Amino acid sequence: MVELTSMFSALAAQPMLAQAASGEGGFPWLTLTTFGPLLGILALMFIPRDQIEALRNTALLTTIGVFLVSLGIMVNFDPGVAAGAGEAFKFQLEHGPLEWIPALGIQYYVGVDGFSLWLVMLTTFLMPIAIWSTYSAVDKYVKEYMISLLFLQVGMIGALVSLDVFLFYIFWEVMLVPMYLIIGIWGGKDRVKAAIKFFLYTMLGSVLMLVAILYVYLQAGADSFLYTDLLAVELSYTEQFFLLAAFFLAFAIKVPLFPFHTWLPLAHVQAPTAGSVILAAVMLKLGTYGLIRYAFPLFPDALVVYAPYIALLAVIGIIYGALLALVQENVKKLVAYSSVSHLGFCVLGLIAMTPAGLAGGMYVMLAHGIATGGLFLCVGMLYERRHSKQIADFGGVSKVMPLFAAFFGIIMFGSAALPGLAGFVGEFLSLLGASQSHFLSFGEYLFYAPNGSETTIPLPERFAEVNPVDSVTWGPEMTAFIFTIGGTLGVFLGAAYLLWMFKRVMFGAIKHDAVREMPRLTVREIGVLLPIVIMIIFMGVYPKFFLSYMDPSMEAYLTYMDEQVTQAVESAEADEERAPIYGEVVVEPLDPEWVPEGSMWDRALDRVDE
């Protein structure tokens, strides 16, 4: 109890501390959310390691506290604030910039917009659930485990809210260490190999990214790592080409996109349940988040050439991941491969550069976070009862654990994109966005060709014959539609592997006596799964709630990308040697009548006034 009170007092002291630190501006919700877990770590330090319950409770209460504070972000975030002309992003609830390492111009600066808001909320929402799920799963080194998890949370939220690119990079690296430890210490049999593989893979990408960041910084010459300053840097096409490659590789490994995904199944299978949940639900999202936040808007010229290949990788990932999931014998591995497939939808939607695609990509991130997190929790519960993850070791579990069957079923269908549940909205919008895209057209260069060189590889003649009244033309639209067909195939395969797994695990006659003795869900386990189930249903029934916060940000983003790409295309056309690269490639022309619908509550109030 002593520990609890000390923790509470620490929590109570927080606002004052923060107020003191904030200086001018509003209440520093973001700083508090980011570093809140550190207070929990502080409290944990003083708790003896044999008081396991106290350690767990402290960590749980800390994360719940952070979740409550993060609700403040949501409440204070005003979706109605539109970005100014030419701005890509409009951040809110900013804190800073404060000088941190003045010699290099590194500053502390945080803020959220419609993109990062929900990812922060997702993180704070899932953390307590993940920690609560460890109560029965982890008994050794509980103290270190809790500290690792809380430290991980600091890194994740920090990376999401940073507006200084160097700060972002530091948080990005901070994230790695605890996850490395979580996999390496509390993991399964092959944990060390998995941890090293995870670490090396991610490091490889992030080192390249660091070089790229430094290059842009040096080009800017403004002595500042602020995101907005870096956005303003003028880079030549050639520079952008290589810089985007570095950024893309770092994020693609994290997502993970095919063929950079091989660390994922190993890491997932070996990681403890809470680690898998966090890894799948949040850490992978940092890859996709990095793509839209950094990689795409920083290098628009190069993106035009990259876009179709990124989409191609995404579609291959969708189908390939699903096919691999289909043949897995290990439940956890199946779910891990399903992540590869689902994240493919996300990237396909984001790269489509259409309103629907962007919204869908963002929504897939959230829905996948909740649903796959839920699936891993379910697998964890099965494992704790049966000490096996092999599908063949189960069968007929529904009879023994009816409530679990209901929860598992809802989560499973949420993941399999059943309309009315979370997964559908995102995948459907992503595919819709992809099908409407004008951005995914292969140019005449398959790969980068230096300026002035003769070695272009011409593709077959563009299909110029377009019927005047024929709107489905064989051009960028058709390329995009072929991608869409591939993606939609993934929706079908998604149902196939999930349902087949569900049938083999949950239905049929009971084949093993051990299954018959599996205990029902405990109250704690119901408490772990229930928020997820409710969220899956709510996200499917009322997606407008989430979309309304994103819409203004998306509009600003697409407007910005539209301008940048148009400029890129114009300058390329002026540059004779590169002229043929860009055909009809455009970011989806925005509907001039698009009024961002973010101010949902305002509009409701207006209606009441009328």
Partner 1 sequence: METLYADEFYFLGLIVLAPLLGAIINGLLGSRLPRKVVDWVACGAMAFSFVFALISLQGLVNHGANYDGEDGFGPHLTYTVYQWIFSGDLQADIAFLFDPLTAVMVLVITGVGLLIHIYSVGYMADDPDKWRYFTYLNLFVFAMLLLVLGQNMLVTFIGWEGVGLCSYLLIGFWYNDEQKAAAGQKAFIVNRVGDFFFILGMFIIFYTAGTWDYLELHQMATSTATVAQLLPIAFPAGLLIFLGCTGKSAQIPLYVWLPDAMAGPTPVSALIHAATMVTAGIFLLCRLNWLITLSPALMAIIAVTGALTAIVAASIAIVQNDIKRVLAYSTVSQLGFMFMAVGVGAFVAAIFHLMTHAFFKALLFLGAGSVIHGMHHEQDIRKMGGLRKLMPWTHATFAAATLAIAGVPLFAGFYSKDLVLWNSLANTHVLNVQGVIENIRAMLPEDRLQELEVLLTDEVAAAITDAGGEAVEVVTWALALNWGVYLVGLLTAGLTAFYMFRLYFLTFWGENRSDEETRAHIHESPGSMVGPLSVLGVLSVIGGYIGWPHFLARYFPEGLQPYVLGLEHWLADVFLVADQYRLVGRFGESPYLPEAISAGAAIAIAGAGIFLAYVMYIKRPELPGVIHERTTRLYDVLMNKYFVDEAYDFLFVKPTLWLGKASYWFDRYIIAGLLVGGVAFMTQNLGQVLSNLQSGNVQRYATYITVALVLIFIAIYFGVM
x-or-dash string of contact with partner 1, 9-48, rule CB under 8 A: ----------------------------------------
- Which residue stretch of 121-129, 210-218, 306-314, 507-515 sits at the interface with partner 1 (rule: CB under 8 A)? 507-515
Which is nearer to partner 1, 217 or 497 (by Cβ)? Answer: 497
x-or-dash string of contact with partner 1, 195-214, rule CB under 8 A: -----x--------------
Minimum distance from residue 431 beta carbon to partner 1 (Å): 7
Which is nearer to partner 1, 26 or 420 (by Cβ)? Answer: 420
Which is nearer to partner 1, 212 or 425 (by Cβ)? Answer: 425
Residue of 544, 570, 602, 605 that binds partner 1 (CB under 8 A) = 544
| CA dist., res. 293 & res. 306, Å (int) | 16
Which is nearer to partner 1, 118 or 299 (by Cβ)? Answer: 118
What angle is formed at CA 499 by the lines to CA 497 and CA 503, rounded to 5 degrees? 115
Which is nearer to partner 1, 355 or 443 (by Cβ)? Answer: 355
Residue 597 has phi, psi (to 5 degrees) of -100, 25
Residue of 214, 500, 563, 566 that binds partner 1 (CB under 8 A) = 500
Q: What is the amino acid identity at position 171?
A: F
| CA dist., res. 477 & res. 436, Å (int) | 7
| CA dist., res. 562 & res. 576, Å (int) | 22
Which is nearer to partner 1, 220 or 536 (by Cβ)? Answer: 536
| Tally of helices (H runs) and strands (E runs) in the chain | 24, 2
x-or-dash string of contact with partner 1, 523-542, rule CB under 8 A: -------------------x
Burial 65-87, CB ≥16 within 10 A → b, else e: bbbebbeebeeebebbbbbeeee
* Contact status: 563 vs partner 1 (CB under 8 A): no
* Contact status: 466 vs partner 1 (CB under 8 A): no
Find all residues with CB under 8 Å of 160, minimum gap 6, and list them.
112, 116, 119, 120, 123, 286, 289
Minimum distance from residue 491 beta carbon to partner 1 (Å): 7
- Which residue stretch of 36-44, 306-314, 379-387, 415-423 sits at the interface with partner 1 (rule: CB under 8 A)? 415-423
* Contact status: 551 vs partner 1 (CB under 8 A): yes
Q: Taking the chain, what is the end-to-end CA distance rounded to the nearest angstrom?
A: 55
| CA dist., res. 468 & res. 566, Å (int) | 25
* Contact status: 491 vs partner 1 (CB under 8 A): yes
* Contact status: 489 vs partner 1 (CB under 8 A): yes
Q: Which parts of 347-406 interact with partner 1 (CB under 8 A)?
A: 354-356, 358-360, 396, 398-399
Q: Where are the beta strands (DSSP E) in 487-550?
A: none
Rg of the chain, C-alpha, whole Å? 24
Which is nearer to partner 1, 55 or 405 (by Cβ)? Answer: 405
| CA dist., res. 91 & res. 57, Å (int) | 35
For residues 353 and 439, the answer to whether their CB atoms sit within 8 Å is yes
Strands 106-112 and 92-101: antiparallel
CA-to-CA dists, residue 479 to 255, 429, 437, 579, angstroms: 24, 18, 9, 21
Which is nearer to partner 1, 465 or 576 (by Cβ)? Answer: 465
Burial 437-446, CB ≥16 within 10 A → b, else e: bbbbbbbbbe
101 beta partners = 106
* Contact status: 471 vs partner 1 (CB under 8 A): yes
x-or-dash string of contact with partner 1, 159-198, rule CB under 8 A: ----------------------------------------
Minimum distance from residue 334 beta carbon to partner 1 (Å): 11
Minimum distance from residue 320 beta carbon to partner 1 (Å): 6
Q: Could you please report the per-residue DSSP string of 312-345? A: HHHHHHHHHHHHHHHT-SBHHHHHHHHHHHHHHH
Find all residues with CB under 8 Å of 536, minimum gap 6, and list them.
367, 370, 371, 374, 410, 411, 414, 421, 422
* Contact status: 506 vs partner 1 (CB under 8 A): yes
Q: Which of 19, 174, 38, 171 is nearest to 109 (CA)?
A: 171
Residue 107 has phi, psi (to 5 degrees) of -130, 160
Minimum distance from residue 5 beta carbon to partner 1 (Å): 38
x-or-dash string of contact with partner 1, 248-267, rule CB under 8 A: -----------x--x-----
Residue of 34, 224, 435, 441 that binds partner 1 (CB under 8 A) = 435
* Contact status: 432 vs partner 1 (CB under 8 A): yes
* Contact status: 472 vs partner 1 (CB under 8 A): yes
Task: Give how many residues touch partner 1 by CB under 8 A.
Answer: 66
x-or-dash string of contact with partner 1, 577-596, rule CB under 8 A: -----------x-xx--x--
Q: Where are the beta strands (DSSP E) in 227-334?
A: none
| CA dist., res. 347 & res. 257, Å (int) | 8
Which is nearer to partner 1, 232 or 472 (by Cβ)? Answer: 472
Contact residues for partner 1, defined by CB under 8 A: 200, 259, 262, 320, 323-324, 326-328, 354-356, 358-360, 396, 398-399, 413, 418-420, 424-425, 428-429, 431-432, 435-436, 467-472, 477, 481, 484-485, 488-489, 491-492, 495-496, 499-500, 503, 506-510, 542-544, 547, 551, 554-555, 588, 590-591, 594, 597
